[in-house]
Structure 1
Amino acid sequence: MNLRLLLILGALCAFGPLAIDFYLPSFPTLARAFATDVEHVQLSLAAYFVGLAIGQLIYGPLADRFGRRRPLLAGVLLFALASLACALATSLETLVVARFVQALGGCAGMVVTRAVVRDLCDPIASARVFSQLVLVMGVAPILAPLAGGLLLSSLGWQSIFVCLALFATLCWLAVALWLPETLSRKVTPAPLSGALGEYRRLLGDRPFIGHALTGGLSIAGMFAYIAGSPFVFIELYGVPAAHYGWLFGSNAAGFILAAQLNAWLVARHGPGYWLRRLVWFYLGCGLALLVIALSQPPVLWPLLVPLFGCIASLGVLLPNATACAMAGQGRHAGSASALLGSLQFAIAASAAALVGALHDGSAWPMATVICGCGVLATLASLYTLWAERRLERPLVDGPV
């Protein structure tokens, strides 16, 4: 895959992190602007999550029926227009609706990117490409809040959404000019009337579901970390808020480095090989984190070591789980990508909510959810191996 195409796909992958993390610093300002509180402003974030979950299921069948380009162009345009609507919002209700529509547009990039990689690459090459795209997914959450804070202080909260609209416009032009149609003309387009039947087929595809659950439960641990770490780091252990970004960034750096290492590893063994092995490392780090959290250490660093291991291992687990799930999906890659994303996102969002529901003033809720995700991800991996052997489906393990 050439560099230009990789950059376009990376930009499309950045829609989610940017639209979520870019405006987080503006919550207090939005609360004042709309004469409400931060808790109500968070509804705009919840609306975006709901839009992501629903929208992916819509774009999958569209990408299989009309090709990859047209649904993607429509989605990116919708994201740009909805971003402008966010900037022009005069009430919180308008902002919430605009954010929902923004998510419906933005998730086109998430769905189509996975489908394009599946169209162009075999499973091992796919794992390498997904590992490279993780670089964008890891860097964006670090830089987006910083850039959003700068825009907020200098140009106001509206400028954040204007920048998102400009970014989407540039992506639309890049897709229109340089992204080719990757759905083969030799493949018969999947009819929209069969969308529900295709989702039922995928739900009955045990290896696909097993890989999707392995990846979804793994990334759920990251969402639990994102939800719980501000309290644990800042409130429980007194880390200055200004230093929180450094701790968050160090774990993100481990995630990015592991993903780049994975691009080298899958050249020697396939993504399935490393997925089955690293999930045990993830589980071990999760168990260590839980044991240390239950001991209530007086300082933070004992928690940081296994936490770093959990987050870094995701750099191997996520691209490999995606590559394995998408292997063999052929003309239904769009629907497979959509169901994969929706399942993983629903599981991850549930894990973040569970951390809040279990909150008791200690590090135990975050550690318990992360450890639980490790246990369930390992069980899902074992189930997948059993299903592949039972169906005599070849494992994606061989070298290039």
Structure 2
Amino acid sequence: MTRKRYISLILILGTLTALGPFSIDMYLPGFPAIAKYMHTDVAGVALSLSSFFIGLAAGQLLYGPLLDKFGRRKPLLFGLSFYIVASIGCAMATSLNALIILRVIQAIGSCAAAVASMAMVRDLFPVNENAKVFALLMLVVGASPMVAPTVGGYVTAGPGWQWVFIVLAGMAVLILLAVIFVLPDSYKPDPTISLKPLPIITGFYNVLKVPQFYTYTLTGSFAFSGLFAYVAGSPLVFMEVYGVSQEAYGWIFAGLSVGFIGSSQVNSLLLRYFSSEQIVKVSLPAQALVGVLFLIGSVSGVLGFWGTIVMIFLFLCCLGITNPNSAALTLAPFSKNAGTASSLFGAIQLGIGALVSTSVSFFDSLSVVPLAAVMCATALIAFVILFTSLRLNRGKFTGVTGEAVVVGH
């Protein structure tokens, strides 16, 4: 593969991966404006974020078997088209309930891009390079938290929050064109794969029972759900508790994302000297420690505005290293069934993320403590799952260089 081809694939797969995060991050500064327009509060608008996560989780399970049966291109084109229509619908919504429902539909469309991009990493690149490729994708995805909230803040303050969804629809049109004219269909369709419920459930079960899959899926999902908690809780923390403006919130969000994206690139350097397994065993305990310190500092009231920013930044730094390695370790055992495995992984990750983000909204407290408590809890749960499973399943993992496990449907 030429360098030019390699870069073009990374950019396209990265934009596919980033579509969901852009759909989340760009409308966050508009929470107060949407709440005012729809006669509700910011916590109520946050439910439209949780509904998006739920739609992503459900859609993951839908697209996995479709990607394995029909190849990557057709389901991807369908999902992007679905997303464009739903985005326009969101811009036209006049009630919170309508927005919540349309966000579910929008998420189902966008997750085709997320599932396909993960599966195509497994299709197009050697398995021992997957962690590096995931880290490079995170560099592209990094444009989302660095650019999307800032743009969203100015769009909301200018033409209005509805135009955020018009911009998202326009982005999806450009991605759709890139998929049609540039991206190869990296996987030969397998007509033997059944779309009947029982074979699909059996296929998911055969993936789920692989120790390496469930260990790193649950570990990575709970670790990553700390990011979901931050995304759901940050509008309230920064715009309500600390009183920053929509535009300032966008810049804060962009600045904090540097920790997540920058550390994911540091991970590429670490992979030259250490394995993914070794890295996760250090980055995850560090993430849990930061979570504990964040909670203690929030409860005691010693952090303040800048202390809160520092603790979130450190948490995201640890997560930026944990995430690409846990994703690579999750999918490493699979080749033929990468679509099914990536969709199940994504569904579990997003399902846990949806529950976690919703839990932040349930706290009726105008303080940083609920956010800190949830972020701390997710990291500690991930820590316990990883080291408990490693002890119970010793010798059953292949790492990212072992023979692939093919599971039947």
Render the CA deviation track for 1:361-393: whole Å, top value 9, x for unaligned: 4433222222222211112221342355243x3
1:111 partner letter: V
1:192 paired with 2:195, answer yes
Give the length in aligned residue pairs: 396
Change (3 A) 1:91 1:122: same
Distance 2:88 2:251 in 1: 32
Residue equivalent to 1:312? 317
Distance in 1, Cα, partners of 2:134 & 2:67 = 19
Match of 2:280 in 1: 275
Distance 2:178 2:363 in 1: 45
Are 1:128 and 2:132 matched, yes or no?
yes
The correspondence of residues 12-161 of structure 1 with structure 2, limited to 5 A, is: 12-30=16-34, 41-89=45-93, 94-161=98-165
Aligned counterparts of 2:40 and 2:364: Cα–Cα separation in 1? 25
Q: How much does 1:353 deviate? A: 2.6
CA distance 1:75–1:7, change in 2 (3 Å): same
Residue of structure 2 equivalent to 1:292: 297
Q: CA 1:294/1:50 → structure 2, altered by over 3 Å: closer, same or farther?
A: closer
What is the CA–CA distance in structure 2 between the aligned matches of 1:73 and 1:328, rounded to whole Å?
28
* Inter-partner Cα distance in structure 2 for 1:236 and 1:33: 21
Bigger Cα displacement from structure 2, 343-352 vs 62-71 = 343-352
Contact 1:259 1:315 in 2 (8 A): yes
Q: Please tell me whether the aligned partners of residues 50 and 358 of structure 2 are also in contact (alpha carbons under 8 angstroms).
A: no
**Residue 10 of structure 2: aligned partner:** 6
Separation of aligned partners in 1, 2:240 and 2:33: 22
Q: 1:389 pairs with 388, 394, 402, which one?
A: 394
Structure 2 residue identity aligned to 1:170: L
In structure 2, relative to structure 1, the CA distance for the partners of 1:361 and 1:80 (3 Å cut) is closer
Separation in 1, partners of 2:239, 2:25: 19
Distance (Å, rounded) in 2 between the aligned partners of 1:38 and 1:301 = 23
Q: Could you say what secondary structure the match of 1:331 adopts?
A: coil
One-letter amino acid of the counterpart of residue 377, structure 2: G
Q: Tell me how far 1:315 sits from its aligned partner.
A: 1.0
Q: TM-score, normalised by structure 2?
A: 0.86
- Residue 165 (structure 1) aligned with residue 174 (structure 2): no
Shift of 1:82: 2.1
In the alignment, residue 351 of structure 2 is paired with which amino acid?
A
Q: Which amino acid aligns with 1:80?
A: I
Deviations 1:136-168 (A, max 9, x none): 333312321222233344444443333222211
Q: Deviations over 1:117-141 (max 9, x none)?
A: 0112233311111111112333312
* Counterpart-to-counterpart distance in 2, 1:77 and 1:298: 45
CA change 1:233–1:100 in 2 (3 A) is closer
Matches within 5 A, 1:243-392: 243-297=248-302, 299-386=304-391, 388-391=393-396
CA contact (8 A) 1:123 1:271 kept: no
Q: Of 215, 218, 239, which aligns to 1:210?
A: 215
1:268 aligns to what SS in structure 2? coil
Question: In the TM superposition, what whole-angstrom CA distance separates every residue of 1:250-274 from its partner, at most 9, and x where no partner exists?
Answer: 3210111101111122133222221
Which residue in 1 is equivalent to 2:407? Answer: none
Q: 1:7 to 1:365 in 2, by over 3 A?
A: same
Is the 2:220–2:382 contact (alpha carbons within 8 Å) kept by the matching residues of 1?
yes
User: Hey, what's the Cα distance between the residues in 2 that align with 1:16 and 1:251?
Assistant: 19
Greater shift, 214-223 or 300-309, is seen at 300-309
Q: 8 Å contact 1:183–1:331 — kept in the other structure? A: no
For 2:201, the aligned partner's letter is: L
For residues 299 and 39 of structure 1, what CA distance do their matches in structure 2 show? 22
Q: Quote how far apart the aligned CAs of 1:344 are.
A: 0.9
**What is the alpha-carbon distance in structure 2 between the residues aligned to residue 368 and residue 93 of structure 1?**
29
252-261 or 238-247, larger mean C-alpha shift = 238-247
Q: What per-residue deviation string (whole Å, max 9, x for no partner) do you get for residues 91-114 of structure 1?
A: 655544433222111110010110
Report deviation, 1:230: 4.3
User: Matched residues in 1 for 2:53 and 2:86: separation?
Assistant: 15
Contact 1:388 1:394 in 2 (8 A): no
The amino acid of 1:310's aligned partner reads F
2:52 corresponds to which letter in structure 1? Answer: Y
**Which structure 1 segments of 5+ residues have no match?**
none
RMSD: 2.8
- Report the alpha carbon displacement of residue 313 of structure 1 after superposing the two structures with TM: 1.0
State the SS of the aligned residue for 2:142. helix
User: Cα distance, 1:297 vs. partner?
Assistant: 1.0
Checking the alignment, whether the CA contact within 8 Å between 1:275 and 1:317 is kept in structure 2 is: yes
Q: Following the alignment from structure 1 to structure 2, what is the Cα–Cα distance between the partners of residues 126 and 51? A: 27
CA contact (8 A) 1:17 1:140 kept: yes
Task: Give the letter for the 2:210 counterpart.
Answer: D
Q: Distance in 1 between matches of 2:92 and 2:232?
A: 29
